[in-house]
A and B are shown apart, each in its own frame.
Chain A
Amino acid sequence: MSRIFARWPAIVAGILVLVAPLLAHHVVAAKFDPAKRRTLNGIVTKVDWSNPHVHVLMNVRNGEQVANWAVELESQLELERSAWTRDSVKPGDALTVQGPVARDGSLQIWGDSVILNRSGQRVLGMSASGLAYFRPAAAAASAPARPTPRWPDGKPRLGPVPGETGYWGRPSSRFLKENGVNVEIDEEGILKNINDAAKVAPFQPWARDLYVYRQREFLKTDPMYLECYPPGAVRQFQMPFGIQFVEDKSFNRIFVMNGGGNHDWHFIYTDGRAQQGNVRGNADNPLYYGNALGRWEGDTLVVDSKSFNEKFWFSNGGLPHTEQLKLVEKLTRTDMNTLKYEVTIDDPGAYTRPWSAGWTMQWVAGDELPVYYCQDNRA
């Protein structure tokens, strides 16, 4: 264990180079070993064009032996945003692939670079526009955003304006840390310096140790990736594939729909009900999204949630929580294009005091919520 710890900075440095483009699924270094890089020449046998990762299978000859390797790439959604299609590479094509190979010794390689031999062209990589699509865009200073759209009763709209489309994506933060804490964390939620772990939030000692443990193993036991569990509360607002709100005014409830994860949904009830498990099953089955009860305070939707289970990670990065978790989330659409998200985390089981965090999401105008299923390339 201590040996692994000693190698940590070197490994982290490796990851920062290797996973810079990754947005969608597991941390690359959780599965692939940055210290074991290979170059493979092979003939494509199959292209599995799906989420969460596209795979190209290819036969690699080594003397008399032929082995079938799986080349893992970004998700279908991301590659399509980079103008690749399932026909960009076809069975029979000869490829040269470079990247780290799987830690478990199976015949899998992460496709850092995929070259189509016949043209010498690099294929199935992320383009600049493909990368930019899922990341926060700098606000155009010359064109201020339109004001917050409103319902006839004056309440802000959380969803699209009639006649338009859009969804909330491009979170300004993809990890959780207490407001005001100055530590460096990458887009996958991995600390740049593991010694900063205790600063991230006011952890109980056991929770800090669990956080450090999860960080050291590159979050490889993350249930959202491993089991396709729901993103769950808080984390759903950190997902690059975004969320959509549909406000059902007839029943005073808000559908919150996830683009990514397992593409699930939950309700925020705004009908004034009491905070108790009055939905069938919820009273004795703790939840991934809690009992989420919303009310408007001025232009802010304040959502109180509790009754959480401990089976999900409520953030990228692996911060623990317990069933004692209570959340107060504040959602404010400050203009047409900006959703301010603020959360206060009160979990005496895992933290020594309540603490707060916040970030923004951007309105992705003119597009539909992406359709992404974690389950797609499972058995």
Chain B
Amino acid sequence: MRRPLPIAIFATVFLTGTLFFAQGRGGNNSAPAPRWPDGHINLGAVPGSEMGSWDATPTQVPLARPDTATDFGLFAADAREPTDPFLAAKPKLSQIPFQPWARRLFDARVLTRQEPYTRCKPSSAARQVATAYGTQFIEVPELQRFYIIETGGAHSFRTVFMDGKPHPANLSPSSRGHSIGHWEGDTLVVDTIGFNEKAWIDNLGMPTTEKLHTIEKFTRIDYNTLHYQITVDDLGAYTAPWTSGIPLRWSPGESFEFVCQENNLAPELIMGDDRMPVETPRFIP
């Protein structure tokens, strides 16, 4: 018994946040998505009510294996036929249009399991949104900003510029890239370029190149549910753009301080103790 059940359960909770908090509370399923006084959708907590964050709690134990594709990853397990149309629209692994090299790299990543997230690196795109203990989406209309703030993982943040300006020229590649956003009806659309090739956009390591361009759509379909959709446009790693998504659940409760670097057990707990060791760069710290 390589990975006993208690460890798996603990890994689940550690990785995705709060089975207990997310599922036990907020019986507000029929309530519509809240709106600001000007009518546009509020992607966060409602002033005067309890704070909360968005949780990507999966419905399966999320150990990082290709045969355990999860709701918070970017493809569906081949064997699953979800009834939820949002989940059913997720591509299966066989439908992802990998370039041959990218498929080989993906297969290698699945075997070696060296997800940067588990080593406290800032995750990009979908992986940031699916961070443990939830993410908060905070719009500051006055400053034409939207912040995606994660509690777990790197406990960091991404700024989405909503001022209508285009991406700057000559971006230096970074793990989270440069994000600009706008509202299309009730959906917030976020366009990001300027990624480096070190960060992973999901938990299993879909390869990406510096050509990566993502379009993320945030749609709060009711009070407790947010559909996060991402289009991966990277002709360096894929033969065509492809789209996937993650359902997020509203989880009431206050965010808290989280320091990944402290006593970090994530590599063992999330990736398993038979993962390949990570080579330490010779020049740090």
Interface residues of A (CB under 8 A from B): 25-26, 31, 48-49, 53, 55, 70, 72, 76, 80, 85-86, 106-108, 159-160, 162, 225-230, 246, 248, 250-251, 255, 257, 262-267, 279-282, 285, 287-289, 311, 368-369, 371, 373, 375-379
Known: A159-B143, A262-B261, A373-B122. A378 touches B284 (CB 8 A): yes
- The residue that A265 contacts in the complex, of B155, B198, B283, with Cβ under 8 A, is B155
Q: Which of B87-95, B180-188, B215-223, B273-281 contacts A (4 or more CB under 8 A)?
A: B273-281
What 11 additional pairs, Cβ within 8 angstroms, besides A246-B140, A264-B154? A53-B283, A76-B172, A159-B143, A227-B261, A229-B262, A246-B147, A263-B154, A368-B159, A371-B174, A371-B176, A379-B284
Chain A CB count within 10 A is highest, among B143, B176, B255, for: B143
Closest to A162 in B: B142
Name the CB-closest residue of B to A269.
B254
Asked whether A251 lies within 8 Å of B172 as measured between CB atoms, the reply is no
A373 touches B175 (CB 8 A): yes
CB contacts under 8 Å to A, within B153-174, are 154-157, 159, 172, 174
Q: Which residues in B have their C-beta under 8 angstroms from that of A264?
A: 154-156, 259
- B residues neighboring A (CB under 8 Å): 45, 47, 51, 119-122, 138, 140, 142-143, 145, 147, 149, 154-157, 159, 172, 174-176, 198, 253-257, 259, 261-262, 278-285
What's the least CB distance linking B210 to chain A, in Å?
11
**For chain B, what secondary structure do more than half of its interface residues adopt (helix, strand, loop), or is it mixed?**
loop
- Complex CA–CA separation, A251 to B50 (angstroms): 9
Interchain residue pairs A-B with the least CB separation, the first 6: A250-B47, A70-B283, A379-B278, A379-B280, A263-B156, A279-B256
Residues in A whose Cβ lies below 8 Å from that of B254 = 279-280
What are 26 A-to-B residue pairs whose CB atoms are below 8 Å? A25-B285, A72-B283, A76-B172, A86-B172, A159-B143, A226-B285, A227-B261, A227-B262, A229-B259, A229-B261, A230-B259, A246-B138, A250-B45, A263-B122, A263-B157, A264-B155, A264-B259, A265-B155, A267-B255, A311-B262, A373-B122, A376-B121, A376-B175, A376-B198, A378-B119, A378-B121
Contact at B284–A377, with CB atoms within 8 Å?
yes
* Min C-beta distance of A25 to chain B, whole Å: 8
Contact at A280–B253, with CB atoms within 8 Å?
Answer: yes
